[in-house]
Chain A
Amino acid sequence: MFDFLIQGFDVALSPMNLGLAFLGALLGTLFGALPGIGPINGIAILMPLAYTLGLPAESALILLAGVYTGAEYGGRMSSILLNVPGDAGAVMTTLDGHPLAKKGLAGPALGLSAVSSFVGATIAIIGLTLFAPLLAEVAVMFGPAEFFALMVFAFASMSVMMGNDPIKTGIGAVLGVLIAMVGVDSGTGVMRYTFGMAELYDGIDFVVMIIGLFAISEILLMLEHAHGKNANQEMPPLGRVMVSAKELLYCKWAMLRSGVIGFIVGVLPGTGASVAGAVTYTTEKRLSDKHNTFGTGDMRGLAAPEAGNNASAAGSFVPMLTLGIPGSGTTAVLLGALMLYNITPGPMLFTERPEVAGGLIASLYIGNLVLLALNLPLAGLFAKTLTMPRWVLVPGIAILAFVGVYQLHSDLMAIYLMLIVGVFGYALRKLGFSLAPVILGYVLGGLMEDNLRRALSISGGEVGILWDSAISICLWIAAAMLLVLPWLLSRAFSRKSPVTA
């Protein structure tokens, strides 16, 4: 049964392919760490190169898959160090990662997140090896109605983030949904809120959103404090560099749970690392945040989204390899690479081209080890970024932000948009809003609307389709429980406590 894997390790362990896995992992970490360049761009840049170099199919795929998984590792760095997500999957990583860095724990945070990434990815790769064909069948059962129910569930689980200020969280999420409305309506092709500007037809790009919202507002905050009393009060001195075994054990359940959830989210076509990060973070907060420490630098709040986004990256290979259907934007580009080599993904791939399927899966195992080995020792080195004085750091972030957005669009309009979004984000932060609900509303809101519209155009406007299947009913019940249970529990507890007291 696992002949393809044995053959795969044979292929992946050849010196050249090992070298390529290492190169891919290294480049991927770099692409992920730079805000603006995500895995998609990295692969799109390297794909023609691999092809012109005349690499055989399995080698090219090993290189590109290394870039993909590496980028999910790299995205966490700027999230933790600078509060600027390096790529889409790392948005939730900022929530507890950056507070940890502020406490002087940047080194352990980077180390912990590297280990979490490793654990999440490992769970997902094992899942990919064992269940790929089976899961693919389940994944296509998710139609628009089921996705809509899934998004309702995701929004319901967001309610845990409401914490102290439910109204501000709600407003933030709604603002995010509103921003997601800009652009060509995906159902009818009608323009919405574009004011006749062609640059807005495609809506406000994700990269523009996260760089504007996080990086630019961060720069503005730093500038604001530049002349204050605290101008010279830099980050606290770096404490330990390595993460301790105790901390890792403390987070073990967060990693394992999030690895499984992230994998499942990754398998579903159409949901990627950003959704995985959001769902795993909120689930973990719901399950283990007993003392309301999430958001203030709780290690588990860092471990969860990092395990989740890496697991989803590996999970998105399931529909690509077994059905020839990409599970994420990045695997869509990878699929294009396969087609260039005249390779037919699908169930036949494992029997017809075992060296490609097995080689890819084996290289994921190897690449994952390489990435851990690469990222753990580097944690201390990267943590030193924080000791940089402000006058280096602020222009540095600004350069990365501007270059990142410009290279994506080769258009000044994107820069202006980024600045507008940045000022908007700055205003929100000054008013005490958290940025995570805004970005989640933006990501989930768009998906939710699209799928609702699709479901209704399938049924011809009949609302019943939304709870027509067993999957959707389960998701609706789960969402309802998320909203009602805490309230019921707290009532039950508060009634009990006077008695015991």
Chain B
Amino acid sequence: MKFNTAFLRRSAAAVIGAALMTGSVHAFAKPTECIAPAKPGGGYDLTCRLAANSLQETGLIDQPMMVSYMPGGIGAVAYNHVNGVRKDDPNLIVAASTGAAVNLALGKFGQYDADEVRWLGALGVDYGAIVVKADAPWQNLKELAQDLKTQPGKIVFGAGGTVGSQDWMKAALTAKAADVSPRDLRYVAFEGGGESLAALLGEHIHVFTGDLSELRPHLDSGKVRVLAALAEERVGGPYADIPTAAEQGYDVQWPIWRGYYMGPDVSDEAYNTWVERLKELAGTEQFAEMRDARGLFPMERYGDNFDTYVKEMVVQFKELAKEVGLTQ
């Protein structure tokens, strides 16, 4: 008897608990979700959290956005998941960046190509940078390029990605601009920007092809010199003194946009709702603050404009990859 009452009490609690849970599920009928195709803590996490926090804070979504992680193949697992399973989910956006475009171009996302998904928009951008140690012999990009041309094997580049990754692309494009074949480039792949920077400070490598925002803490330390920002035009704020590569006569740009895509079969209605939502978000003061805090620069590309932008980028990368022998 005693057992029975205890049992009854427990099952009653369980029933009430379950009811409460379904109730709450019901109240949040359609929460929005952002998939970060990586482990927590990286750039994709940051991209999702930027959307989640700023949309919430500006009141553009009424329920908190869920951020879920789907690491694997630098985004390939998530890309396949969205193309295969959640093709038409109107509440799902997935974080992407220039790196995703590079991998699409190299065919690393499996059977799916860049025109499969619906590219939604970008909320911010970072730029590549050419960095040397403060006591390095090169004062500007020109001096580095000239030395590179006379003795390509003597200058060691390093960064946080493999050969064929976007960090390598920055080095390869710089070499190309200096009339040096990317195949002659000496390049070392580290695990992330931090390790590469340590190797630069320890003089194990000579040139680090990193990103501007990750250099922010090091600008005033006097330990490194940024030879060029790979941006369309000079970036303001603490980076105002850094010349672009184009200014120095080398047409190299490497924007690292941070944006989102949606499933291939998402309705135009849902897609346009999201486009409008992002546009409105980008116009707010709060958003600008949050974007700056994350070291991102403004970028205004949404909807079809962004879709074409990404697809063109992928086509460009495909050509480059063929040229330097990464793909056939």
Partner of B188, one of A45, A342, A457: A457
Known: A332-B192, A460-B153. A48 touches B49 (CB 8 A): yes
A347 within 8 A of B: yes
B140 within 8 A of A: no
A484 within 8 A of B: no
Which B residue's beta carbon lies closest to that of A345?
A: B217
Which A residue's beta carbon lies closest to that of B187?
A: A457
Closest CB in chain A relative to B109 CB, distance in Å: 8
Whether the Cβ atoms of B41 and A143 lie closer than 8 Å is no
**Distance A202 CA – B71 CA, assembled complex (angstroms):** 8
B202 within 8 A of A: yes
A411 within 8 A of B: yes
- Binding-face segment, B5-13, B88-96, B161-169, B175-183: B161-169
Partner of B72, one of A141, A144, A202: A202
Known: A184-B162, A344-B216. A201 touches B76 (CB 8 A): yes
Residues of A within 8 A of B106 (CB): 189
Chain B interface size, as a band, is 35 or more
Whether the Cβ atoms of A454 and B188 lie closer than 8 Å is yes
B73 within 8 A of A: yes
Which B residue's beta carbon lies closest to that of A446?
A: B191
Whether the Cβ atoms of A457 and B204 lie closer than 8 Å is no
**Distance A323 CA – B218 CA, assembled complex (angstroms):** 8
Closest CB in chain B relative to A335 CB, distance in Å: 7
Residues of A within 8 A of B69 (CB): 408-410
Closest CB in chain B relative to A109 CB, distance in Å: 32
Whether the Cβ atoms of B162 and A41 lie closer than 8 Å is no
Known: A198-B76, A202-B71, A339-B295. A458 touches B204 (CB 8 A): yes
Which A residue's beta carbon lies closest to that of B192?
A: A332
- Binding-face segment, B19-27, B193-201, B226-234: B193-201
A interface residues (Cβ-Cβ under 8 A, vs B)? 40-41, 43-45, 48, 52, 139-145, 184-189, 196, 198-199, 201-202, 269-270, 319, 323-326, 329, 332-333, 335-336, 339-340, 342, 344-348, 408-411, 413, 450, 453-454, 457-458, 460
Which A residue's beta carbon lies closest to that of B165?
A: A189
Residues of B within 8 A of A450 (CB): 191
Which A residue's beta carbon lies closest to that of B67?
A: A48
Closest CB in chain B relative to A198 CB, distance in Å: 4
Partner of A198, one of B41, B73, B195, B220: B73
Closest CB in chain B relative to A9 CB, distance in Å: 25
Whether the Cβ atoms of A269 and B194 lie closer than 8 Å is yes
Residues of A within 8 A of B189 (CB): 186-187, 453-454, 457
B34 within 8 A of A: no
Whether the Cβ atoms of A199 and B198 lie closer than 8 Å is no
Partner of A410, one of B41, B45, B68: B68
Whether the Cβ atoms of B162 and A333 lie closer than 8 Å is no
**Distance A189 CA – B46 CA, assembled complex (angstroms):** 24
Closest CB in chain B relative to A321 CB, distance in Å: 11
Whether the Cβ atoms of B191 and A460 lie closer than 8 Å is no
Partner of A332, one of B41, B76, B187, B220: B41
Partner of B217, one of A44, A188, A339: A339
Closest CB in chain A relative to B194 CB, distance in Å: 5
Known: A144-B188, A342-B293. A408 touches B194 (CB 8 A): no
Whether the Cβ atoms of A339 and B216 lie closer than 8 Å is yes
Whether the Cβ atoms of A457 and B202 lie closer than 8 Å is no
B298 within 8 A of A: no
- Give the residues from 51 to 80 in chain B that come closer than 8 angstroms, CB to CB, to chain A: 53, 68-74, 76-77, 80
Whether the Cβ atoms of A198 and B110 lie closer than 8 Å is yes
Known: A199-B77, A409-B72, A460-B153. A140 touches B201 (CB 8 A): yes
Whether the Cβ atoms of A348 and B220 lie closer than 8 Å is yes
Closest 10 pairs (CB-CB, A-B): A201-B73, A143-B204, A44-B40, A140-B202, A189-B162, A198-B76, A198-B73, A189-B164, A333-B41, A344-B217
Which B residue's beta carbon lies closest to that of A352?
A: B220
- Give the residues from 206 to 265 in chain B that come closer than 8 angstroms, CB to CB, to chain A: 216-218, 220-221
**Distance A454 CA – B196 CA, assembled complex (angstroms):** 11
Which B residue's beta carbon lies closest to that of A188?
A: B163
Residues of B within 8 A of A347 (CB): 221
B87 within 8 A of A: no
Known: A140-B201, A324-B217. A458 touches B188 (CB 8 A): yes
11 extra interchain contacts, Cβ-Cβ under 8 A, other than A198-B110, A201-B72, A333-B40?
A: A48-B49, A140-B199, A185-B162, A186-B189, A202-B71, A202-B74, A324-B218, A325-B194, A325-B201, A346-B221, A458-B205
